[in-house]
């Protein structure tokens, strides 16, 4: 995925937030900013938001094979 200079640091922060939220060491309520909230800082269109969110998930969880 091609990211703009403005998107790149925000996406990297969203990736880290997503990793922290999914971490098995995390217990209790997650109170930090979520990946969704971080991506909203960009004010993207709904289509771009979905593309960025999918990219964040793929970076953390790996690509999913479609059968």
Q: What is the pLDDT of residues 8-38, one digit of tens each?
A: 999 999 999 999 888 877 666 666 788 999 9
Domains identified in the chain, total number: 1
Distance between CA atoms of residues 20 and 61, nearest Å: 13
CA distance 43 to 40: 5
Indicate the DSSP class of residue 27: -
* Per-residue buried b or exposed e for 28-52, using 16+ beta carbons within 10 Å of the residue's own CB: eeeeeeebeebbeebebeeeeeeeb
Query: Is residue 66 domain-resident?
Result: no
Q: Provide the pLDDT for residue 30.
A: 62
pTM to 2 decimal places: 0.83
Q: What is the DSSP string of 34-57?
A: PHHHHHHTT---HHHHHHHHHHHH
In a domain, 11, yes or no: yes
Per the domain annotation, does 48 fall within a domain? yes
- Containing structural domain, residue 41: 7-22+30-61
């Amino acid at each position: 995925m091609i990211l703009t200079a403005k998107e790149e640091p925000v996406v990297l922060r969203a990736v880290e937030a997503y990793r922290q939220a999914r971490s098995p060491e995390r217990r209790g309520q997650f109170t930090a900013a979520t990946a969704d909230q971080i991506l909203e800082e960009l004010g993207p269109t709904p289509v771009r938001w979905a593309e960025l969110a999918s990219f964040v998930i793929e970076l953390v969880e790996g690509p999913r094979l479609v059968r």
